[in-house]
Amino acid sequence: MLTFRTRRASKGQRAQSTIEFAMVTPIFFLIFFGIINGGTLLYSRNALQHAADVGAVQIATLGNATNVDIGNAIPAMEAAGMNNVMLTTITGVTVQKEDASGSSSGETLTPDTSGCGGSPCEQQYTESGGVWTCTGICTWPSQNRDTSQSSGLAGDPDFARLTIYYTFALVGGFATYHMSASVVFRLEPQTL
């Protein structure tokens, strides 16, 4: 038979275990969801950076960004998984012409504003109902390089920046972050 003293110690131990559990549980879930959110964020960032790289390869392969984005680059980015990334929503894609300027110590790229009324020369795309449309300045400021150059590589190259804009929502919906993945690439003059 148990004595009164033994039963009291037993109840005290149960209360202590409950208090310890109540103190440790929030810390455990904070660390657990932090690891899940961090891993998902890194995966999303890498997947969308890969999609941007695939789009840049498509545009660079064709030699110019004129009228190739909706027909070639964006479908290639979608095939690379751009719209299938967890907890992200794509808000837009831009292809912006960059100017190379520099000195003997190195070159820097700045947005090209010539021929675009002082605004950066960029093609802006948004998706609605699975259809991509150009919503901003939709003209590339230079001529179509694949037909205007002589045989072989000739002329100066164009530089461009492809950017995917997206939002990332944390697991649990605590916060939403607006982010982007971009790649700068060089468009060599091509001939057919």
Q: How far is Cα 65 from Cα 122, in angstroms, rounded to an integer?
A: 10
Whole-number pLDDT of residue 3: 55
pLDDT at 130: 82
Among 25-34, 93-102, 128-137, 139-148, the range of highest mean pLDDT: 25-34
Beta-bridge partners for 190: none
Task: Please tell me the predicted confidence (pLDDT) of residue 65.
Answer: 57
pLDDT (tens digit per residue) in 51-93: 999 998 888 877 655 555 677 888 899 999 898 888 999 999 9
DSSP 104-164: TTEEEEEE--TTTTTS--EEEEEEETTEEEE-S----SS--HHHHS-SSS-SPPEEEEEEE
Cα separation, 163 vs 178, in Å, equals 13
122 has a pLDDT exceeding 50: yes
Angle 81-93-108 (CA atoms, 0-180°, nearest 5)? 110
> Model confidence at 164, in pLDDT bands (50, 70, 90)?
very high
- 3: which 2 tokens? 């004595």
Over residues 103-117, the pLDDT tens digits come to: 555 567 877 776 667
- Both tokens assigned to 69: 């984005």
Mean of all residue pLDDT scores within the chain:
78
Paired with 95 in beta bridges are 123, 162
At 147 the pLDDT is 44
Given the DSSP bridges, would you call strands 176-187 and 158-169 parallel, antiparallel or unpaired? antiparallel
Beta bridge partners of 180: 165
Give yes or no for residue 17 having a pLDDT over 90: no
pLDDT of 72: 82
**Tokens 């919503």 found at:** 135
Please tell me the predicted confidence (pLDDT) of residue 42.
94
